[in-house]
Chains A and B, each alone.
Chain A
Amino acid sequence: EAGVAQSPRYKIIEKRQSVAFWCNPISGHATLYWYQQILGQGPKLLIQFQNNGVVDDSQLPKDRFSAERLKGVDSTLKIQPAKLEDSAVYLCASSLVGGSSVGYTFGSGTRLTVV
């Protein structure tokens, strides 16, 4: 089966600019996650969707980050305006059912550099 697709692979922007990342989960996977991974650290959950509804966005900096999952399939994560500390890899993951952390599938991520 095809994996989790993310684009772009790399992005360099100046601070205060905006940026958007796209994710296409594995077909049929109802649950989609966005994680932020800062260099040298483990991934941190930003937002979790179940179909097109938000399950958990408690760690999403809502003053600058937004995410949507229209039609319960693809998802977009946006940062506006970006700060230097947003430099990180943004990972999208999907799973067949919510409530199970067995067998998450991660995409290769988007590496964001804010200068």
Chain B
Amino acid sequence: GQSLEQPSEVTAVEGAIVQINCTYQTSGFYGLSWYQQHDGGAPTFLSYNGLDGLEETGRFSSFLSRSDSYGYLLLQELQMKDSASYFCAASSGNTGKLIFGQGTTLQVKP
């Protein structure tokens, strides 16, 4: 089957750095995306890795290793507003279809 595994919860303090890992098993893998979702809100796109390596966007970075079927999202200089759920999502095939992980709830404490 097709699946993505990520930790269910992560807790960190303001100003710290946190890494959310994601391992995947999908057919027709094209790339890995990351989405942020606040309670009651819409998932919002954060980052995409189509190739191996690191992508940096401000305080957020994302990494992909196709050989290890593994990726991660790195959040730096954590702020209280970063408390949310984070989803990794694999592109399956060339249609744009996304397969989502179960999500990681990040709690940022003062």
What residues make up the interface of A, taking CB atoms closer than 8 Å to B? 3-4, 31, 33, 40-45, 48, 55-56, 91, 95, 97-109
Interface size classification for chain B: 20 to 34
Cβ contact of A41, chosen from B31, B40, B102, cutoff 8 A: B102
Q: How many A-B residue pairs have CB under 8 A?
A: 71
Residue in A closest to B101 when the chains form the complex, CB atoms = A42
Cβ contact of B103, chosen from A4, A41, A44, A109, cutoff 8 A: A41
Q: How far is the CA of A100 from the CA of B90 in the complex (A)?
A: 12
Secondary structure type dominating chain A contacts:
loop
> Given contacts A42-B89, A44-B100, is CB(A98)–CB(B42) below 8 Å?
no
Q: List 11 A-B contacts (CB under 8 A).
A: A33-B96, A42-B4, A42-B101, A48-B95, A95-B96, A97-B96, A101-B91, A101-B97, A101-B98, A102-B31, A107-B42
